[in-house]
Amino acid sequence: MKLSEKLPRVLVDCTDRGFFREMTRKHRLQGLPTLALLDADGEKLDEVVGFSPDAALYAAFLRRAAETRPPSRAGDSAARALERIDRLLRESEARLREEIARVLRAELGRGRE
């Protein structure tokens, strides 16, 4: 079982103002973007509000979400998937830092000319 099957995603289009107001009221949203963990009845168990460049924050949230779900035979598979997500997030964060440093060096170098 894939992690995406264990933790279904729901994307809410906030460009529809009426729907956005309804979701804000129903789920007590405090800001955008919001990553929310809901139980089977739609009750909010946990959330991350706002964007963060800290990949570890999202990895920890996904780990809590997977641990919150009832155990299944796919538990080992889900654990491996979370480990892979953690590794990919760390690698992506490192590449992003390198790219930002490269762009900053290039831009700062232009300013000295």
pLDDT, residue 41, reads 73
Q: Residue 42 region, left (φ>0) first, then alpha (ψ -120 to 50), else beta?
A: left
Choice among 1-5, 32-36, 58-62, 88-92 with the minimum mean pLDDT: 1-5
The residues facing 36 across adjacent strands are 47
pLDDT, residue 112, reads 60
* pLDDT (tens digit per residue) in 83-105: 777 777 878 888 888 888 888 88
pLDDT, residue 32, reads 79
Domain boundaries, the chain: 3-111
